[in-house]
Amino acid sequence: MSSTAAAGVSVGLRARRVFEVVEFDTAIAVGSGSVPALGTPRLLAWLEAVTVAAIEPALAPTEVSVGTHVDLDHLQPSPVGARVAVEAVVTAIEGLRVDCDVEATNGDGTLVGRARISRRVVNRERFLDRLGPGNPG
């Protein structure tokens, strides 16, 4: 692991959040299907958000993490009103890459989805510079 970036990130870091499925989260609303259940794009957004919550508190103020790879299985539907718990754990670090295993479960413990998500630790200012002039930073 680099001594200048991701130095505070370690295997075993974790975060957990609970989300409630609302109409805005359905496959219909996000354009990924025609059913009133949690859409896969929204599930992915929740999974990624929890990886950020696991990693970024350990980063230096000048660092952020950006998503680079996702392997996702959406296994069970979740209706509007369902509460979905998402837990992420850092499982591997290689250089600036941080891998997380993430699981989402319904209130009854049913596995809704699971993913392996890779993030890369980058310097925030340099990353924003790559976006070009006129971008918020």
Q: Is residue 23 part of a domain?
A: yes
Residue-level pLDDT at 4: 36
The helix/strand count (H/E) of the chain reads as 3, 5
**Alpha carbon distance 121, 97 (integer Å):** 7
Provide the mean pLDDT of the chain: 93
Could you tell me the pLDDT band of residue 5, with boundaries at 50, 70 and 90?
very low
Is 48 part of a structural domain of the chain?
yes
In a domain, 5, yes or no: no
Q: What is the pLDDT of residues 109-119, one digit of tens each?
A: 999 999 999 99
**Reading across the β-sheet that carries 14-20, which strands appear in turn?**
14-20, 83-94, 97-106, 111-123, 63-74
Residues 6+ apart with CB under 8 A from 56: 64, 65
In whole angstroms, how large is the CA radius of gyration of the chain? 16
- pLDDT, residue 6, reads 66
Question: Is residue 124 situated within a structural domain?
Answer: yes
Q: Which residues contact 84 (CB under 8 A, 6 or more apart)?
A: 18, 19, 20, 21, 38, 43, 46, 78, 104, 105, 106, 107, 112
User: Per the domain annotation, does 98 fall within a domain?
Assistant: yes
- What are 28-54's pLDDT values in tens digits? 999 999 999 999 999 999 999 999 999
Q: Which domain holds residue 40?
A: 14-130
